Structure 1
Amino acid sequence: MELNSAKPGLLCSLEASQSQRTMYPYVTGTSVVALKYKDGILMAADMGGSYGSTLRYKSVERMKPIGKHCLIGASGEISDFQEVLRYLDELTLNDKMCDDGNSLGPKEIHSYLTRVMYNRRNKFDPLWNSLVLGGVKNGQTYLGMVTMIGVNFEDNHIATGFGNHLARPILRDEWREDLSFEDGVKLLEKCMRVLLYRDRSAVNKLQIANITEEGVTISQPYSLRTFWGFSAFINPTPGAQ
């Protein structure tokens, strides 16, 4: 059948079948929280994947190492994050093929991601993610983030999603430059516990990643100890904080 002689409804269905862009996020992950400590970067994310408002998946890994020096974490649409990882695989492969003795660091990869996200936003085909990029290279720690429309910054601590409202106040009060690894993990766990209590999309199964000059390590999934006996949980008061 020639398209010129096809009915309008058929043309619409054919055009829709050829569309490859993400019109709405379907399977999404919630907050990523990261901070600098005295030896590197710590990053935490739970493993929940929400299908709409349903917590459908409980083992979604949202933190991935990039090359030798970097780690990326993502909230938002999981399939779009997989597309970002494909871009980064091509980037690091091309960099390795140059064989010039140099490798991309976290600052360069963060700059690349800001261009990718802003370019896709300008084409009205955004990647529905907020990305956190951390790394250590030549003794310098770096932590930055970029949103789905290309807004980007770097800071000593970062959180996406509800973490930006619930975890950042805790980090502003308790973060310090000389945090040890143990204190940094405790601070991240405190943030993740608050998110578990307050964010319906959070699950009690998380991973914490450590980025140092030696490389990236990601913990096995584990659960936090929680307490649900607070009076506000048992007898909530409408309008109370």
Structure 2
Amino acid sequence: MNHFPQAWGRPRDDVYGPYNSSYLQTSAPNTHTQQPIVTGTSVLAVKFKDGIVIAADNLASYGSLARFTPVSRLRPFNPRAIIGFGGDVSDMQYLDRLLNSLDVDENYSSTGHSLHAANLHTYLSKVMYKRRSDINPLWNSMLVAGLDGEDKPFLASVDLLGTTFEAPTLATGFGAHLAQPLLRRLAEEESQVPGITREMAVEAVKECMKVLFYRDARSMDRYSIAVVTKEGGVELKEDEVLEGQSWAFAEEIRGYGTQVA
């Protein structure tokens, strides 16, 4: 074999003839990444009478490896809106830069008006649909939570296809299967939202985060949670820990972990 660094692994030219690289040439069209690599899992949100509660854990998984832990997937946009990201983390970072640019433009605007949550949701839906139409989608599913133009609670979803919808409770990823049935016990119809207090909404979201920690292999016990209200704006906590965990029982099982003779 040829042992020069620039040709490691290639047969020697003086023995086998010159290396033929013509097979590397292709006339195929340019392609884009069609598979997310580092991903975040569920985002949960629920309306209550004065605002929105939204939460997501702080884990970014490399396949099935719990690779990056201090990753907050809740991104405040302004005092009236916050976005929760599920899916590919690199696409989340791209969208975060896009939103930063939009935020700068808004702050320098002379109109005196700022985007509210409904505006932001419309903007993101157009971005996601445009990238889908280019066959180069952003592999994310997002929840946009906050206040609309009339300072009423607003909660809506947008995914990589540009599909959008609103509901009193929403969840992405595994949360759509495991947490939504629990959240719908609190509010299945929009008419039930005025009867939900902030404490009820926060407790329901925390209980769902615990269920996901036990049932979703791509989740963890540290999470971010935010409450959006007209009076308090976006109140974000990025390093909450689940309470009342019961995984500790494993340490009492014979054969678990290191043993002492």
TM-score (normalised: structure 1): 0.85
- Conserved 8 A contact 1:76-1:130: yes
Structure number with bigger Rg? 2
- Conserved 8 A contact 1:22-1:127: no
1:215 alignment partner, one of 214, 224, 233: 233
- Conserved 8 A contact 1:95-1:103: yes
Letter in 2 for 1:200: A
Structure 1 residues 55, 210: closer, same or farther in 2, change over 3 A?
same
C-alpha distance in 2 between matches for 1:33 and 1:68: 19
Which residue does 1:134 correspond to in 2?
145
How far did 1:99 drift? 1.6
RMSD of aligned residue pairs (Cα, Å): 2.1
Q: How many equivalent residue pairs?
A: 221
The farther-off stretch of 84-93 and 121-130 is 84-93
C-alpha distance in 1 between matches for 2:186 and 2:22: 61
How far did 1:96 drift? 2.5
Structure 1 residues 220, 84: closer, same or farther in 2, change over 3 A?
closer
1:43 alignment partner, one of 48, 54, 58: 54
Is 1:118 aligned to residue 129 of structure 2?
Answer: yes
C-alpha distance in 2 between matches for 1:169 and 1:87: 33
| Structure 2 residue matching 1:89: 3-state secondary structure | helix
Unaligned segments of structure 2, at least 5 residues: 1-19, 254-261
C-alpha distance in 1 between matches for 2:47 and 2:60: 26
C-alpha distance in 2 between matches for 1:11 and 1:140: 57
| Structure 2 residue matching 1:206: 3-state secondary structure | strand
- Conserved 8 A contact 2:42-2:171: yes
| Structure 1 residue matching 2:241: 3-state secondary structure | coil
- Conserved 8 A contact 2:186-2:196: no
Is 1:226 aligned to residue 245 of structure 2?
Answer: yes
| Structure 2 residue matching 1:221: 3-state secondary structure | strand
Structure 1 residues 156, 8: closer, same or farther in 2, change over 3 A?
farther
The farther-off stretch of 74-83 and 174-183 is 174-183
How far did 1:8 drift? 4.0
Among all aligned residue pairs of Structure 1 and Structure 2, give the percentage whose two residues are the same amino acid. 39
